[in-house]
Structure 1
């Protein structure tokens, strides 16, 4: 098989890159060892987060750091055995989280986030997948007035600097919006711009179907077989060898496995996460995704049921699951939503988020490797930024004007 481009990785980012390349006339082959959307793209909270202009930063308050050090937080947990490997990226992460640096990073991040909803709507309309998108945003539920005041300040900053929309909810308004949450909450912040996805894997596969409708092809194989072949690139599929003039690495947390032998070893680290679905009791409903502000988990209405997603676990990317966080937050979720109901899934799902120390994705041409391109490192926002990354990278590869200045995301910054 021959093509103009082979895209390694069939998660939401890789599929979106492939769609945009195919739309711009580049014959593209999408390449993965598993069906599209079955990796990390399967298990996210399913929100296109237009409000996420402030990426997750490293805590700099000593008391907060101490609570994380003792693994007492439900929203984050680490494996002691991981600390030697995390020292370098964590030191850089802490450095980039200094307030003035962090504000500059947020401005670069916001330039991508600003396009996410429109880029998804465009692909979803072309793919006939609009029914998978639900307007209305998502809500932060706050137990105390102090917590509510803090999130309202962040919301005001987001609106003032980046034009993000929100609605302040007192306790009565929150109860009216989500009547099956427990009573007595102080209120919440409803982000009004984001769009919820009712089944993330179905959306990824709808984009794959669009890619194939446009003439693209999907092939199974191991991305670690990527090698230089003359002026181009080659990978060995399960059924045939594939040659292409250019290649794109979009393998999320597994990208460094392919890039390191080619001389590029970015300080990507992993935040693992878990989810479980529940069948609510009786006629109980959750109208929109809800974050428990005090405990860092989310409840999200999905086609499969109500999805409970955990915070971050710093552990070996390919190590066995250790769903301690799910065990900790599950009773809290039943307290927040008493009618949450029983588990549906037979097994707990686990995925790995690919994170960078400066909180920005890696998008652009590979250093010292002509014809090789990168699109990974999106942290918590792979679903959000998939189509925008695809649009921008495809424009760069075909000589078109990218949606925003790509300098901040360039691979050679590491």
Structure 2
């Protein structure tokens, strides 16, 4: 088999890259070790975070650091045995999260975020799945006046700097929007520009179907078999036999190092693991939009399978066994917050977010290899940024003028 491009990784980022390349007349093979959309893209909060111009940073206030050090929170958890290995990454992450540096990163990150909803909608409309993207925005609700005041100040700054819209709500207005919340809430912030995805896996699969309608092919294969071939090309082993390609895109998320290290690249990539569980709502209870219980650090989102409860970040070895302690901590609090019924899933789902210390993805050509491209490291915003990354990457590969300047995300910054 011969292809113009092989895309390694069939999550939302890899699928989006494959679609955009196929739309531009390239013959593309999309390769994964599993069926598409079953890894990190399967389990997430289902948000297209138009407001997320400030990527998730490492806290710098002493109180938060002390709270996380105790290792008993919902929004963060760590494996003690993993800390020596990930300590260099955490230190760099902390340094990049300093207020002035974080603000500078937001300026570089914002162009990607600004295209997140529009690029998703363009693909979804072409795929016939626009009904899976709902313009409800999402809410962050507060149990204390202090937390609300601080967060409203931050939201006002985001609106001034980046033009993202929100509505500050008192307790009564929160209850009007979400009448089945049962906690005593002081108020909330309703981010109105983001969109909510009702079934993230179904949306990814609709993009795969679009890719195949455009003439693209998908196959199961092992990215670790990638090798350089003659005349600057590449060869890979798949279930359909060996494949020769003119170019390869590595979009393997937290497994990118399976390829990059073999070719001499040492990116400071770490993972934040996360968990989810679905619940049936009790009685006639309805959750109208994704909602974050801010002080407690968990997230509820209405999904096709039920109400999805998602946890924060777990710092651990990528391949360590599941330890869903954050989910166990969150479940009783969430049930007192919203009338959750029985569990739907047989066991907690776990996924892994691929993170860089400067909180921005790695997008662009490999510095030392012709026709090798990188597209990974999207951290908490893989679902948000998949389609705009796909467009940007495809434009660079085929020689079009990129929709935004890709320089801030270039691999050689590391």
Shorter-chain TM range is over 0.9
Aligned residue number for residue 318 of structure 1? 319
* CA shift for structure 1 position 333: 0.4
User: What are the Cα deviations for residues 295-327 of structure 1, in whole angstroms up to 9, with x where unaligned?
Assistant: 111000001000000000001111110000000
TM-score under structure 1 length normalisation: 0.99
Contact 2:395 2:402 in 1 (8 A): yes
Aligned residue number for residue 107 of structure 1? 107
Instruction: Select between 118-127 and 398-407 the one with higher mean Cα deviation.
Output: 398-407
Q: How does 1:156-195 map to 2 (within 5 A)?
A: 156-195=156-195
Aligned residue number for residue 256 of structure 1? 257
**1:341 counterpart SS class:** strand
Aligned residue number for residue 401 of structure 1? 401
Contact 1:32 1:220 in 2 (8 A): yes
* CA shift for structure 1 position 347: 1.2
Structure 1 17/313 Cα, relative in aligned 2: closer, same or farther at 3 Å? same
Aligned residue number for residue 277 of structure 1? 278
**2:168 counterpart SS class:** strand
Q: Identify unmatched segments of 5+ residues in structure 2.
A: none
Task: Return the alpha-carbon distance in structure 1 between the equivalents of residues 53 and 105 of structure 2.
Answer: 9
- Superposition misfits of 4+ residues, deviation over 6 angstroms: none
Task: Return the alpha-carbon distance in structure 1 between the equivalents of residues 384 and 80 of structure 2.
Answer: 31
* CA shift for structure 1 position 62: 2.4
Q: How does 1:10-409 map to 2 (within 5 A)?
A: 10-230=10-230, 231-337=232-338, 339-409=339-409
* CA shift for structure 1 position 67: 1.7
User: What are the Cα deviations for residues 263-322 of structure 1, in whole angstroms up to 9, with x where unaligned?
Assistant: 111011000000000001111000000001011110000010000000000011111100
* CA shift for structure 1 position 39: 0.5
Contact 1:264 1:367 in 2 (8 A): no
User: What are the Cα deviations for residues 129-149 of structure 1, in whole angstroms up to 9, with x where unaligned?
Assistant: 011111110000101111111
**1:383 counterpart SS class:** helix
* CA shift for structure 1 position 238: 1.9
Contact 1:6 1:31 in 2 (8 A): yes
User: What are the Cα deviations for residues 181-227 of structure 1, in whole angstroms up to 9, with x where unaligned?
Assistant: 01521010000001100000000000000000111110111111111
**2:358 counterpart SS class:** coil
Contact 2:73 2:326 in 1 (8 A): no
Number of aligned residue pairs: 413
* CA shift for structure 1 position 72: 2.9
**1:40 counterpart SS class:** coil
Task: Return the alpha-carbon distance in structure 2 between the equivalents of residues 333 and 133 of structure 1.
Answer: 25
* CA shift for structure 1 position 239: 2.9
Alignment root-mean-square deviation, CA? 0.8
Task: Return the alpha-carbon distance in structure 2 between the equivalents of residues 112 and 296 of structure 1.
Answer: 26
